[in-house]
Each structure stands twice: as structure tokens, then as C-alpha cells.
Amino acid sequence: MPVLQDTRAAVTLAPAKPTGLADLGVPLVDTTTVKKGRVHEHEQLLADGKIGRRYQDLRVIAIKTVEGGLPSAKVFVQFEVFGDNTAMLAGGGVFDIVLFAGERPLSSRTATGLFMPYANFWYPNRFVFEVSLDDFDQADRVDVIAKPEEVGAI
């Protein structure tokens, strides 16, 4: 079986205006703070060096706001994914995010359940992670790490 290799996309976060968030349902209050970053395209290679999966328009949106009187911080990771002549097998599509302050890792989270029912087609994906308020305040980068996995060749 072909195996996708561990790959990392570093997304730099920058302060941003709280606009364009309507599809996320963000409660906008005076204290809402937003950080955004983007990588246009990222490739996950197979063990033989060929492209096995493509990620396009990888966007990270970190939001600190108040809902129901309680402050919270969340990180949204959105992208389109394409199986480049590879089909995802059951249990595939795992990735991690790691929040950084400079070179210091702050925290990490794991996502499963990548939506990619067929190879050779682009599928939108969206994930959300709760993070601490302190990690939100310090974070200036998020690494998105696509984990190794077996795939079917098409």
C-alpha cells in the first residue's frame, strides 16, 4: 500500500479585523479579537516522492470572543483537499495543529474525519478547536501537520 508522509504547513497568524466571519457564527462583541493566516497550496507526498494529496486555500482563523457571558478562544482550520490519484482508506485523514509563540510550542490538538469520499476531486473541510485564552494571546503561528497514512492507489 502507498503511504502518505508526515508533512507540515506553517501558517503565520496576524491580527485581523473581525470581518468575513458570518459563516462561522461568531458572536461579535467589542472585545472580539481575530488572528488570521493562510497558505495557498500545500502538498502531502507519498514515500516515493510523488504527490499523494493536495491541500488548497489552507486558512487558519483564531477567534477570542464572549458568548453567554463567558470568554472563549477557538481556532478554525479550513481547506479544500484533493486525493491526487490516491483514495483515503477507513480511519484516514488525521492531522494535528500545533500553536506556537515564536519557536516555542504552546499546545496541540488532533483532528480526524477528513471529508474526502473519492479521489481526484476537491472537497471543502472545516475543523474547530478550543484553545486556552492564554494560548490564543501568545500564538503567532499554527503548524498544520498531515499525519502519515496508508492510501489506495488509483
The residue-averaged pLDDT of 5-26 equals: 95
Query: Does a structural domain hold residue 44?
Result: yes
Structure confidence by residue, pLDDT tens digits, 55-93: 999 999 999 999 999 999 999 999 999 999 999 998 789
Backbone phi, then psi, for 13, in 5-degree steps?
A: -95, 140
Query: Does a structural domain hold residue 49?
Result: yes
Query: Does a structural domain hold residue 94?
Result: yes
Amino acid 90: pLDDT: 82
Question: How remote is the C-alpha of 64 from its chain's centroid?
Answer: 17
Amino acid 92: pLDDT: 84
Query: Does a structural domain hold residue 24?
Result: no
Query: Does a structural domain hold residue 97?
Result: yes
Mean confidence (pLDDT) of the chain: 96
The answer, yes or no, to whether residue 99 has pLDDT greater than 90, is yes
The structural domain count of the chain equals: 1
The residue among 53, 64, 39 whose CA lies nearest residue 143 is 39
- For 82, the grid coordinates are 484533493
CA dihedral 46, 51, 52, 53 (to 10 degrees): 130
Query: Does a structural domain hold residue 91?
Result: yes
Query: Does a structural domain hold residue 119?
Result: yes
Percent of the chain with pLDDT over 90: 95
Q: How confident is the model at residue 108 (pLDDT cuts 50, 70, 90)?
A: very high
The residue-averaged pLDDT of 121-137 equals: 98
Single pTM value for the model: 0.95
The residue segments making up the domain with residue 35 are 3-19+29-153
